[in-house]
Structures are given as C-alpha cells and as structure tokens.
Structure 1
Amino acid sequence: MAANAWLHRLALGIALPLAVLTAPALWAAEPKTDAAPAQAETDAAKAVRYTRALETAPLADNALEMRRWLLRWILETPDHTVLVCDTLGTLDDENAPLYGELLVQMMGGNVAWQIEHPQDTDEVSHQLAGARSVLKMYAVYLANDPKWKVPKLDAAIERERNGTLREHVAQRLADECSEESGREKVALGEQSPPPPFLGGFLRESHVIYPLKVPTGWVMQNEHRYDELESGASVRFQREGDASGWMDVYFYPIGAINKQDLDRLAKAEREQLVTVWKDAATGAPLSALDTFSVPVKGGVSTPAGRQSRPEAITAYAADFTYKHRNNGRRYHSVLVFMVDRLYAIKLRYSADTEKLSRKQARKEAESFARSLLPEVDILSTGKCGSPSMAIDDQMADGCVGEDPIQPVVLEGRRELRFEYPVPR
C-alpha cells in the first residue's frame, strides 16, 4: 500500500473498521482505567496509560474512546515518529477480524516504548514493543471469545515463548519496510502533516436543535462528555411518559465517503453486540438496515460550498435487553447517520409492555425523520481554507475559517463546541 494511502486512511482515523474509532461508548465519555492519575498528566503519559489499559481491557466500554484519542494523538504529535510496519503479517486485509484494533495497538505499543525508553532509538526495539502490545491485547480477546482467533498471532505468541520473536520482527522489518526492500514505508511525523482534525480542521461547531420535536418528544437534559471527540448527548422524552426515552448523540466525524460510512455503521452494530451480549434477551440483534432521512429544505448553497442533498442515509438495528438496574425489559433501537461533518446517533429505549419491537423501530425512525430537518450544524476552522477544499468547494457543514455567532431562535437550543489547538 502506498505511503500516501496509509496516511490518508490514518488521518481519517474514523474510517477504520470494526469499531476502532467510531462512536463514543454508550454511557461514558472519559475512559476509566484502574490507575487513573491523581493530578494532571501530559499527553505522552496519557498515551502510555491508554495503551496499557487497552492491553488488559480491550473490550471495556470505553475502549473505543481510548483508541480514537490514541490514534489522533500519534498522528498529531511532533515529538514521536511511528513507523507502521506489518511485522506480524496481520495488516494485509483491512476486512480481517480485529484489523483496526491491531493497527492502533501496534502503533500505541510502539510510541509507549519510545516514551518510556527515550534513549532507545533502535527501530527493531520499537517494532518489537508494538508487536508485544498487540499480543497482550489479542490474548484477552481470544480468552473472551474464540471467534477472534488469528492464526498469524498464534504463531507470533509461540515465537515469543521460544525467544525468536525479536528475530522474526527484525527480519520482517528488513524485508517489508526498509529502504533496501524497495517498498514504501510510512513514518508518521516525517511528512508535512495536515492540520489536526480538532483544533485545526474544526475550531468551532454550533449544533442548534429544537427543544420539542414535532412527533411529541421534549428535550429533558444535555450531557457534555469530557473528551472533545465524544461531543454531547441530548435526552428526549414524551411529556408524562417515562416508559421510553430517546438519547441523541452528536460528535465530530469529518467528511467521509459512502464506503467509510458503511463501515462506521457496521462498527456501531458490532459495539452493541459486544456491550449488550450479557443483557440481550429474545431474538438476536437485527441486521443493519437503511432508510432515508430528509434534511432541512429551502436552504440556498453559497458559492464555494458543497450543495446540500435532499436526504441522507440512516442505518438502523434493534434488539431487546433486560435493564441492569430495574430488571425491566426494553426494546432498543439504534439509528446512525452522518451529516455536516458530525455523526448523529439515536438510541431509543422503550418498555416492552408499552410497545412491540416493530413499533419501537418505527418510532425511532419517525423521530429521526422529524428531528434532522430541524437541526442546524455549522462549523468553522481550516475546513474553510482553500487548501482543504474538495473539488474547489468547502465540505458540507463548514461555513468558513472565521468564528461565527449564529442566531438561536426561541424554542431552540445551541450546543457550542470549541476545539483548541492541540498541545
């Protein structure tokens, strides 16, 4: 794979498959580890902490958050260079199980070693550290479910046991990633990097949504997550009806193509399988279906900006679960879509005594079709720079480089996100 292709995929980290960098975990924003620091930590220390946490708990509710932050930091830091080399032979098929998780863990283990051993400049040691970090994570996955079995990693574990893993890594490094091999190598940090996604491409965003949705839902509360990548969520309920609730998540995702959108949606479904496998009851999680959601009509498109579509594609799946606290059974519906540089995820929970599973699914889709035309999403930053244009046009949702102050009419509320330049 050409170096520029690697960098393009990694810079769009959100496109990695199998839930590597997708939505925020369902109920938590700040990844929690067993040894959270008592005082403010540097980003480098945080990178090490997240890497070690992912080695021992890769299926934790907040693992996706940690992977997303870790990859973005590696891409943006000027202090460390990570050579992405397929020393374990597992990165040749992006559709293989755990592909994205393995890639991020390999990079994390590599940079964690560099941070902990600043005097060690030996590339073989860096690659070996990345490989060993991957093997620790893989062992946890395999113990959790045999479906994650990867024969090449089993062989690597055996090499680690008999003391030949370093030799194998060194040989792969020479064969696949050296200048003499004739192959292109990818060194993050050695090329002129694009502006960081948050704090560069996006500096501010304004999500303006209605306090009441035409189908009868009323805003109850907001929750902002500590990690900027996680955005915020808004809960809606029908007045006087506590039998169901609708949580709407908004978080930055960037400009993505149809293939990447499909992967993100599949990753969301995979996350539900992982998180709810012990609480799900009845029929299994449904297949992922699509439906059309109209966008706000009658909006003129200024010159130099991408035109708005008439509708966007939403993805939906549903299942039934038993609530961990009150023991009641609920139907749950996931709706996932991307619009104007932001992911919008709905999670509808409905008491099984009030609605059938089919009715809950229909209700969630109706809510999505009612909500989205009432939502405005406006972003500023380098997304408005001519250098960031796509076919000489700014991405849909970007309104320029300079900050704006949108008017928020009565009956509406603004979620303002400010993204400082990364340290």
Structure 2
Amino acid sequence: MSLPVVDSCCSRNTSPAFEPSELSPGSSTNPSASHENISSSQPVHFAGNRATCPFASASSPDMPTLAVGNGDGGHKKLYYADYLRLDQVLNAQNPISFMKGNPCHDEMLFIVIHQTYELWFKQLLFELDTVRAVLAALNIGEKLISLALHRLTRIREILKLLNDQMRVLETMSPQEFLEFRDYLFPASGFQSFQFRLLEIRLGVRPQDRVNGRWIKGLSPEHQHVVREAQQEPSLFDYVERWLRNIPFREYRGYNFQKSYESAITRMFEIERRTILTKLEPADRGAMLAELSNTYKTFESVFKREVHEELIKTEKRRMGFRATSASLMITLYQEEPMFQLPARFLQMLVDVDEQLNRWRHAHSQMVHRMIGIKAGTGGSLGHNYLKRTVDSQRVFSDLANLSTLLIPRRLLPPLPSVLRDQMRYFHSVEMYDRTMFEVGGGGDEIDWSFC
C-alpha cells in the first residue's frame, strides 16, 4: 500500500531512500522507504475523484454503493440522508445507563462528544496523510509546499475546534458524570487508536510516551494498525529530511554557519560591553556567567559536536543540517524563496501547539471530573495526562528557534549572487520585455491609481 497521490507532480517523483544514520531515534530505518513504496497502515484510496474510507471494506454488505442520477433510467436520486448515512450515524448512540434501566441524561452528551472527536480524528488523519505524501516527493517546489501549508492550516483549525468542543463537555458537572461513570469500565479514551495514530504520524516516538503499556489496552486489530504506523516515516521524519536537503546553506563561498557565528560573536560582544558599563560591579559576575551559558546554546548552530551532545541529552531532536536550514529560513524569511517555507515551519509549530493545548484542556477537564482518581481504562487519570502535555511535543525544536534569533540590525546580508538565486523574478532580455509592457489582453499596462 502507498500514501495517497496528491498531485501529478508529486506522483512523478520518487524520493530517495532514508539512510539509517540520518533518521531520528525511533524512526523507521527501512532503506527502501520512498514515495512509491512507503507503506501506510490505513491509507486513503483514491478512484477518480472519489476517496473511499480507509477503515471500511469495499465488499462490506452494509456499505451499498449509491447510484447517482436524475431519476431517469432507473437511477435513484441521491438523497441527503442516504449520502451521509444518517440512519447509521444517528443510531450509533446507545447509552448503557438507558439499557440498564437507569437512564442518565448526560451520558448521551458524553457519547456524542466522543463520537464527534473520533470523526474529527479521522479527518485529521486524512489530511495528515496527504501532507506526508507531499513531503515524500523528491522535488518539493512552491506548489507542493503551498498545498502542504493549506492542508496543515486545515489541521490547525480542526484542532482549534476540538479545543472549543471541550467547553461543551465541561457543562456536565462531576456529579452528573459519576451517575454513569461506573458503566464505562474498562472502556477509556486511553484506547482511542485513532488518536494514537495521529500522534505517531505526526512524530511521537515510543520513547516519548509516558506510559509504555498503552498499546496493550488496544484490541489486537488496532495494535497491529498502530505497530505498522510506527514503522513508517512520520511527518517529523519527512520535514527533517526536507530541511536537511534545502539548498543555499552553502553557495559559492557563502556558508550560513560561518556567517551566523560572526554575527552572534558581534552580538555577544555588544551585550558583554553593556553589562560591563551599565551594571554595578556586584551584579556583573552573575550576568557574565549567564551570558557565557547562553553562548553555548548558540554554538550548537555552527559546532556539530555541541549539537550532537544536545541530541544525546534529549534537549534537541532535529539533525544538525536540518536545524541550520530551519534557522536560516526563519532569519531570512523575507526572501521570496523562503517565504512559503517559513510559513510552513510556523504552521507545524501551530499544529503542535494546538494539539498540546488539547492535551492540557483534557487534563484539566479530567481533574475537574474525577480529581486524582485512576481512569476507567486503568491509566493514572489526571496525573498521566498532565505528564503528556510537554513530553509528547513533536516540533519543539522549531518552536525553540526564537532562542537562536538575532536582531535584524546585526543580521549579515546575503551575498548578491545568492540573493539573485533566491528571487522569483529574474532578469529578462530586452527582446522579451513585451510580456511586461502590455497587459494580458494586449492593452498597455496602466500604472495610475483609480
């Protein structure tokens, strides 16, 4: 099985294989991984303009094909409820308390909220797989980056909606929840395999998990799906590889790391002089020591050994080249060639942040409902959820780039030969100037204001 084809340009290119030495710890090291053969445990299948559900069998007897027509020739007109299968969706709520003869009004809300979450998780996975497919391409130009950015923006907005949806669930009081909580054992949101898939495909690794036994709470079928997903390159892996191979870090004598080192040396010298001239002698020692420690963080940009030490101590995850490229994109994001990549990197941070906000809101809601009790699925409840808030961020390296920024006044200008290569508009010979002198309809271009 392969990732969904999202663009004809993407489908014509096969990405180079992952090299084990270049992958992050915990990532797939399958040397045959490429755009054409990267497996997906639950891929989205496309047929023409149709997308079939990745979790349903095409031959399932309860999934009839809807005939679409105008009513002539024996074709049944497509009906709204049939198209959305509302007979199945609206009859999928069966509160256990009602069946037990002790109906609890709020159990219906509890079920609908969680079913809605699962539907949105399905859409998030659908969108995320297309972003991964874009980044699986060998040549990722502006068109594909724009597509990936568009899909990531949708993912962010869905996550915002999921955060807002939490407020509806909070209209239920702890006492109302306790009325039916005993009926839920041992089922738990801890067993949401779609949420686990979402985390894995974003880039959460086994070693990032707070509870290593979480997978045992899933059904055998869902365990298989999740284990397969763990063997595939995640969005983080694709982003890291894309950044690692971005050009312009070194170009005709220009070296970004050396240029950056020169700039921060100047910046720190200015700060050192400020400390020596503006602070009292008693305060200078502590500030100079802090300045020295801060400099070591900046050194990781141009000293590979410092960067590798940060990886060993799990203070950084992204590779040396990828980190350097992401910083260059961020510092020079006003350059035409870097504008889309910079927005793409920021959107990755936004998605990570929204998912983390959801984790935090979920943790707070659980604490409000059950305090420090264990969850219905055997997890540690609020204590477990609280620990996942910061430990399972995926793109924290990108979020932390602000630590490494320098003031624009100290930012070294790019060499003119490099700036020319990074522009969308290049010089045009005189005989070809007509395309700029007349409008699309042959009219003279009018530069006046209305």
**Superposition TM-score tier, normalisation by shorter sequence:** under 0.3
Between Structure 1 and Structure 2, the one with more helix by share is 2
Between Structure 1 and Structure 2, the one with more strand by share is 1
| TM-score (ref. length: structure 1) | 0.27
Q: Which has the larger radius of gyration?
A: 2
